[in-house]
């Protein structure tokens, strides 16, 4: 049966997380939530279907039982290729980098990570580190890490609601405090930390750094710019980012009233502003900020009404 399936996310707590995902977006009991894994089929957590015929089934179990619901593009991957998150950075995340698939498979036995951020909220002056201000050598980078001056070399980008940043593997980056982000990424948790501001984890010990591996995979030429690569596709429709792992599109439901979900890929919709009703197959579903639903491949025409911003993730 095809219908829009509401997903219950996996909630993650980290030392840099805030309470906005709980208080404003209905995640958990209102306490601190750093990440809400909205669409997840991962060894570290999986989202669960709420309501309808498949109520209580994990998304992974559904797709194992009905692989056609992934679509032909997703079926080419060894595992479900996409992970969608909402992230609340109350303080700065670590300065980090993700390896590409070749390095990750050789060294870690898993895939690397390319990701994309869409800014849902941003405090005045808040932003992100993405790449370097200028070309740097490995030796200069090592010295800056030893001296705790790495942020002086990084390109800081002040962001506002609706800004989008595409982060290829090999790009040094960090979300800074005061930003809530919608993230779509490769389904990987592989992260190399370069610098963590001297913080300690819940165990009272400094969090692990991975400097040698990080230096191996950093591409110092990569600098990201807001909305680079975004493209208006039609009234109320904006392509945010596209790569072989995922495609992400923003819809203004007051201007665009629907789209097609064919048998090439599933579509996952996260509401990041306003309210709408989304209809697909045999049912409809009301969506408010923070809600995510999964629409199986082959659903056909998906329509919506209301005034909201929906972010679509598919392969």
CATH code of the domain containing 279:
2.60.120.10
**Which of the following is catalytic: 138, 193, 225, 231?**
193
Whether residues 255 and 189 fall in one domain: no
- Residue 10, both tokens: 């996996």
Whether residues 108 and 210 fall in one domain: yes
Whether residues 198 and 280 fall in one domain: no
Kindly give the pairing relationship between strand 192-195 and strand 179-186.
unpaired
Q: Which of 129, 159, 152, 138 is nearest to 223 (CA)?
A: 129
Query: How many distinct structural domains can be found in the chain?
Result: 2
Mean pLDDT computed over 56-63: 98
Whether residues 176 and 31 fall in one domain: yes
222 falls within a domain: no
Whether residues 92 and 52 fall in one domain: yes
Mean pLDDT computed over 273-294: 97
225 falls within a domain: no
Mean pLDDT computed over 91-96: 97
157 falls within a domain: yes
The size of the chain, in residues, is: 315
Phi-psi region of 217 (alpha: psi -120 to 50; beta: other; left: phi over 0): alpha
257 falls within a domain: yes
* Final residue of a structural domain among 217, 250, 280: 217
What proportion of the chain, given as a percentage, has pLDDT over 90?
A: 88
Whether residues 296 and 187 fall in one domain: no
Residue 311 has pLDDT above 80, yes or no: yes
Whether residues 9 and 153 fall in one domain: yes
Is 161 annotated in the active site?
no
Residue 61 has pLDDT above 90, yes or no: yes
Residue 97 has pLDDT above 90, yes or no: yes
Whether residues 41 and 188 fall in one domain: yes
The pLDDT value given to residue 205: 87
pTM: 0.95
Cβ–Cβ under 8 Å, residues 4 and 276: no
Whether residues 49 and 191 fall in one domain: yes
- Residue 89, both tokens: 């950075």
Residue 30 has pLDDT above 80, yes or no: no
Radius of gyration (C-alpha) of the chain in whole angstroms? 19
Q: How far apart are CA 42 and CA 275, in angstroms?
A: 29
Residue pLDDT, tens place only, 192-237: 999 999 898 878 888 899 999 999 999 988 777 889 889 999 999 9
The upper half-sphere exposure of residue 84, i.e. CA atoms within 13 Å in the direction of its Cβ, equals 28
226 falls within a domain: no
Cβ–Cβ under 8 Å, residues 194 and 150: yes
Q: How far apart are CA 291 and CA 311, in angstroms?
A: 11
The pLDDT value given to residue 224: 78
92 falls within a domain: yes
Whether residues 200 and 286 fall in one domain: no
- Residue 74, both tokens: 């997703």
The pLDDT value given to residue 261: 98
Whether residues 209 and 247 fall in one domain: no
* Final residue of a structural domain among 188, 217, 246: 217
224 falls within a domain: no
Q: How far apart are CA 191 and CA 174, in angstroms?
A: 11
Cβ–Cβ under 8 Å, residues 292 and 49: no
Residue pLDDT, tens place only, 140-195: 999 999 898 999 999 999 999 999 999 999 999 999 999 999 999 999 999 999 99
Range of the domain at 22: 5-217
Cβ–Cβ under 8 Å, residues 260 and 63: no
Whether residues 69 and 178 fall in one domain: yes
137 falls within a domain: yes
* Final residue of a structural domain among 217, 245, 270: 217
DSSP assignment letter at 67: G
10 vs 220: which has the higher pLDDT: 10
The band of 67, judged by pLDDT with boundaries at 50, 70 and 90, is very high
Q: How far apart are CA 100 and CA 96, in angstroms?
A: 13
């Amino acid at each position: 049966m095809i219908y829009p399936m509401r997903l219950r996310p996996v909630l993650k707590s980290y030392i840099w997380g805030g309470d906005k995902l709980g208080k404003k977006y209905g995640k958990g009991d209102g306490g601190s939530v750093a990440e809400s894994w909205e669409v997840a089929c991962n060894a570290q957590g999986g989202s669960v279907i709420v309501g309808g015929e498949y109520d209580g089934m994990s998304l992974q179990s559904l797709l194992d039982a009905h692989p056609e619901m992934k679509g032909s593009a997703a079926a080419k991957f060894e595992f479900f290729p996409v992970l969608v998150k909402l992230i609340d950075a109350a303080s700065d995340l670590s300065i980090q980098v993700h390896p590409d698939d070749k390095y990750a498979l050789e060294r870690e036995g898993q895939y690397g990570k390319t990701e994309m951020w869409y800014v849902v909220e941003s405090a005045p002056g808040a932003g992100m580190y993405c790449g370097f201000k200028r070309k740097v050598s490995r030796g200069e980078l090592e010295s800056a890490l030893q001296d705790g001056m790495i942020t002086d070399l990084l390109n800081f980008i002040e962001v506002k609601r609706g800004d989008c940043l595409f982060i290829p593997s090999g790009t040094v980056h960090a979300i800074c405090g005061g930003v809530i982000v919608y993230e779509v990424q490769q389904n990987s948790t592989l992260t190399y930390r370069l610098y963590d501001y001297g913080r300690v984890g819940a165990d009272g010990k400094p969090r692990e750094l991975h400097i040698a591996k990080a230096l191996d995979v950093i591409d110092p030429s990569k600098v990201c710019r807001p909305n680079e690569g975004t493209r208006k596709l039609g009234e109320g429709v904006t392509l945010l980012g596209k790569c072989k792992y995922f495609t992400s599109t923003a819809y203004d439901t007051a201007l665009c009233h629907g789209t097609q979900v064919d048998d090439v890929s599933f579509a996952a919709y996260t509401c990041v502003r306003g309210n709408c009703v989304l209809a697909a197959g045999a049912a409809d579903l009301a969506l408010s900020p923070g809600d995510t639903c999964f629409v199986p491949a082959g659903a056909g025409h998906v329509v919506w009404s209301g005034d909201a911003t929906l972010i679509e993730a598919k392969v």
